[in-house]
Amino acid sequence: MPTAAIPTSPVDDDRAAPPPVHAFRIVPADEADRIDPVAPLTAAPASDAGRIPLDVPAVVGRRPRPPRVVRGAAPRLVTVPSPSGEISSTHVGIRQEGGAVVVTDLDSTNGTAVLIPGAERLALHRGESLVVVPGTRVDVGDGVVLEILPAR
């Protein structure tokens, strides 16, 4: 008796395992002073202390507020010190899209500098986004530097 193949539907991407979650940390001031924009990627800190996961988008600033319209999960609000007021209230957004990390200047007054390992310092213009890699450092001013960490 002849046999017939039974067609199957393709795997639904929504059911696929989610990618590992990236994170970022606020770099200690004594370490932030030693930023080398062309240094190779170094190992991530051994402990989870200070690790801020990107399981939801993050909004960083001296008094961050969520966007007026939130699509998806509400963002994690991360407050950083800004004694001289260089950092905007809502300065920079960091989010994971699939396996990529995206940094967005949220129309900050003084701008955002991005230091990707092995590349020169880049200035993000107001509202501009950039896909970054682990080891990237984001300078938001007033001595506050954020470092993108590898996924876990």
Q: What is the pLDDT along the chain (152 residues), one digit of tens a residue?
A: 566 666 555 555 556 777 789 999 999 877 766 555 444 444 445 456 799 999 999 999 999 999 888 888 899 999 999 999 999 999 999 999 999 999 999 999 999 999 999 999 999 999 999 999 999 999 999 999 999 999 98
Task: Specify the fold of 19-149.
Answer: Tumour Suppressor Smad4 (2.60.200)
CA 81, 82, 86, 91 dihedral sign is positive
> 106 is written with which tokens?
């949220």
What are the structural domain ranges in the chain? 19-149
Q: In whole angstroms, give the CA distance from residue 108 to residue 50.
A: 24
Global pTM value:
0.80
Instruction: Return the closest-CA partner of residue 92 out of 75, 71, 110, 107.
Output: 107
